[in-house]
Structure 1
Amino acid sequence: MTVRGLAAHAQASASFISQLERGQTSASVGMLRRIAVALGITVADLFNEEQATGHRLVRRAERPELHAGRGSRKYLISQRPLQNLEVYSGEFEPGASTGDDQYTHGDSQEILLVLRGTVTVHLGEAIPRRLEPGDSVEYRTSIPHRVVNDGVDDAEVLWIISPPTPD
């Protein structure tokens, strides 16, 4: 995330964020909370001085689950703090979807890859596309989109988003 992007999401000036990053000013608890929310981390993470090991392991059973619609499950695969990439795994029972309406989130590049089953992808006003295992589609997250499992078997997909979206 750029300094300007963080500033916008944290409701601060880019100058302030830059000074804070360089240790030239301090921030209130409220500002630290807004910065942490914008970065997708906790306030405690802002004070963690441990160096990253360069790799982060996520066991399938330990993936954070995000609230999804009935018959679908969505798991965060990339660990917070999200840096350059945001990756989710989604599982859909037959008839399940990402919701009744198309949605948007930020303006990043997103790739949807079908791992198992078949899904139909709705992208704005374009003709819905049916995807089978191994098929993928790439689009901007600012384009309204929706995924539906209209097949007879469970479906599993992977979403890859770069840069991570703030919402």
Structure 2
Amino acid sequence: MPENELPNTHTVGERLRSRRRVLRKTLASVSTEANISESFLSQLERDRASASIATLQRICAALEMPVGDLFNERRQLSVHRHASANFNPYGIGARKVRITPTTNTQLESFIGEFDAHGTTGDELYAHGDSEETLLVVSGRLEVTIGTETHVLGPLDSISYASSTPHRAREADGGRAVAVWLMSPPSY
């Protein structure tokens, strides 16, 4: 086995259940979206039944995942190389890059870079219902969570529910770098 791969022993049923739970969907809601019975979905998740590809496609559509993810026997070890990262602009004067694979089901993380007075946006935003931590790596950020605002310096962090409206902005007219960690993924 190549050194950059790890064995993945999860069954199709375990992968379906894990994804459903990450999305915080019920058996009933997924079965309705996929046009199958709740008991059949439960049996699939417990590996007591199998389904056609067409049925798996409907279930995966409801779970917002590619069908191929059910059959991958190996998971790539993810190495993030900052020097070659493809940062995406967002907000005003800010860039963000995901540093965990999109296939992660328990943790999602990003690095954000802020130019002078850069911000995630003028408006507060919220997403999902995850536990989220923002860690300032360098510079200083003014972080607003709900109605509270805090100024954080290097290695300061703040934790909050991602469902609470929030915003970050560079505080001193310099540059800042931060890391966001969310569990489960919700962005």
Confirm or deny a common fold (TM above 0.5): yes
Larger-Rg structure: 2
Match for 1:99 among 99, 115, 121? 121
Between 60-69 and 105-114, the greater mean CA deviation after superposition: 60-69
Q: What is the SS of the residue equivalent to 1:8?
A: coil
Three-state SS of the structure 1 residue aligned to 2:116 is coil
Q: CA 1:5 to 1:77, structure 2 compared with 1: closer, same or farther past 3 Å?
A: closer
Cα–Cα, structure 1 residues 16 and 68, in superposed 2: closer, same or farther, change >3 Å?
farther
Change (3 A) 1:150 1:89: same
Which TM-score applies when normalising by structure 2? 0.72
Partner of 2:95: 73
Cα 1:17–1:4 change in 2 (3 A) is farther
1:163 aligns with 2:184: yes
Which residue, out of 71, 87, 102, partners 1:47?
71
Whether the 8 Å CA contact 1:3–1:17 is kept in 2: the answer is: no
Contact 1:67 1:73 in 2 (8 A): yes
* Residues 86-125 of structure 1: pairs in structure 2 closer than 5 A: 86-125=108-147
The Cα offsets for residues 132-159 of structure 1, whole Å up to 9 and x where unpaired, read as 1111111111111100113221110001
Tell me the TM-score normalised to structure 1 length: 0.80
Q: Percent identity?
A: 35
Gaps of 5+ in 1: none
Count residues with an aligned counterpart.
159
Structure 2 residue 172 is matched with structure 1 residue 151: yes
- What secondary structure sits across from 2:90 in the alignment? coil
